[in-house]
A and B are shown apart, each in its own frame.
Chain A
Amino acid sequence: MAQQTLDLADKDFAWAYLPEFLDGDLSSGDGARVEKGLGAGDAATNVGQEFQAARGKLQLALQGYYLREDEVMKLHALIQDPEVRVTKEAEKIAASQRRETRGTMMRLSILIAFAAAAIFGVFYVFTPRGAEAFDALEYLGYEALMMDEDPEGRLNLPTTDIREIAKYLDSYPGLEFKPFVLRSMPGAWEPNGAHVIDYEVAKVAVVKYANAELKETLYHFSFAGTMADLPKAQVGKEKGFEYQTYSSDQLNIVAWQSAPDVLSLIVGRRSAPELAGMARLGSQL
């Protein structure tokens, strides 16, 4: 449904409703008014792109302003005794480790069951079969759908603090790569938790993002690999940022090389160009 607008002077209307215009949330009449205010022809498109770039730069510049850990702890102390906080954090970490152990055991059980079935199949038909490679698009597309359908207990670190997520992934034991974290996301997209999936053949770091306004989620997976590991696909390029896009009937996937040995996938229901824009913005830091 088109957004209700306020009666502003022509010179202000276009700029006041520019994001809604760019997102296609205005009625055709209001959209025409914005286009008129920004100029005919390509002028509206150009101003829209300039605004999006400037807004991205503003958000990046603001990312440089954050409170130190001791300053945040000082805020915590307004309501919670520091000793109690330490105890509660220890309990949370212990609970998180228990959940992680349970998750690992469950995955291991599933893998053992699959392995047993595979061995039985091989024995039955007397035909040797090779080990399957890690099919990132299939596995991680499936993980994203499952985490959306049944999110309870799937993330070992349920937090909205991106620094906490970065610290968790950086210090995760046994990862053979340095996970890449998108530190800047546009609009109302906020981090919503993190997890490391252990597939035996590969470990995958996942960061969940949620947008309360859109009531949508998306997932950023990173793991050891290169673009050559993925099937060939349409290559996109925006301001030097190169990526490949894939889609299913429910999800879009944008893949890019976030570090020389790290492959990143951003998976969600937003359009591929929008997902690529988020990846590019988050990769600028």
Chain B
Amino acid sequence: MTTLEMIKKLSRSDKPVEPLIFEKHVDQQQGVDFPPLDVPETEIPISLIGAGTKLPSFGQHDVMAHYTHLSDRNFSVDGNFYPLGSCTMKHNPRINEWAAALPGFSCLHPLQDDDTIQGALRLLYETRTMLEEIAGLHEVSLQPAAGAHGEFTALKVIKAYYADHNQPERTVVLAADTAHGTNPASCTMCGASVQTVRSVEGQTDLDHLKEVIAQVGAENIAAFMITNPSTAGLFDMHIQDIADIIHEAGAMLYLDGANMNAMVGRIRPGDFGADAMHYNTHKTFSTPHGGGGPGSGPIAVTEALAPYLPVPQVMMADDGSFYLDRDREKTIGKVRSFIGQFGVLVRCWTYISACGPAGLQNVSGTSVLNANYLAARLADLYTMPFFKPSEGKFCAHEFVTVPRDLLDRGVTLIDIAKRMIDYGVHPPTMHWPMHDCLMVEPTETESKQALDHFVDVMRAIASEILEDIEKVQNSPLESDIARADEVGAARKPIITFKD
């Protein structure tokens, strides 16, 4: 097959499909050269030499073309409205990228002596203290690499605390039925078992919480993991009561900080009784998601839990210099190599410093305003189970819709979502935390024009369902590919290229 024939066969839109690097390989070509060796050679024993790695390569111009073509086949926050609930796809300021790329940050080896990296340690120390202030908690560890990694680390810290206080039997963790899947998975990795607490109307069911505590036995419970606002997009009105109930049981309240964007600068988890929490800097603090990572998941804890935090910890000495403390007597040890996602934390420092305290307060206010505006404009066509402004029931920074009336006309939730792609809008989170729901989070950085455009798109899709349902059922019609067969992919997985 010629390349043209292949492109014709594989391409759907005017954007040609890009062959795989293995199909583009050209013998004796590579995209970069090296200086000649400037020292005498030393023979490499034959017994150590391998057969060769068979990595494809080609010339530099075609390398550029390859990735440029691939980038053309991607939705992004830069190019698309991306209202992915619970993921906080906000604008990624480029000053953050500029900062992280400064050679004085990007060229530092993680095992260098503290006296050679005072600027970097200062940035880490300031990030630490800023995150402590935002959390209203005693101490932050910057080590965890992502939110789930933060959950794991904090649960380990909590377990270590109880082991140290002669209560090792506290191995049960409570989690809301709307919790992120990482919550129970992190518990498993810590050897803890999970008990689910019911939600009613997107709020923790206090009676059920008490029931579960009685059933499990207060003395066996380590923590309650709660997401606030909940994944249904609602502030938990009883959060203080919940904290009281959990503390009365002698356990800890853990806040999953995935939805911090609704609270930042306005509500401090420590003030409502959280004992530990994680941040997702790639959500709240604008560090880019990068197609799935890197993230960063700093955790904040109370004074009682602080002795157990992982090492190293960045500290300020009496003389104002900074150092890494590697000797915490009661530490849980290390959870990753070296110091943390430093490059991500540079972006986080830059964002918080750009916003300042008033800006952060405006971030949460505007993110909540934007979500409520969208909900208000769409509520007549897209049923909102929890959004009832006339009764004073608003959403937080995201809202859930279960568009039952539209679904009853013969489309699936996936149909609606895929049709959004035709309009250049990334689909919201689907079927979670409830079946048949869309979870929409516009974030604070969208303009009113963008919000109104999204309303127009959603209303247009609702009209299409009434007037031209097949168009929606067969969508996406204009995207790079038709619907991918995900079931087929899992049946016989092919996850590497074979000649």
Our verdict on whether A and B bind, yes or no, reads no
A interface list, Cβ under 8 A from B: none
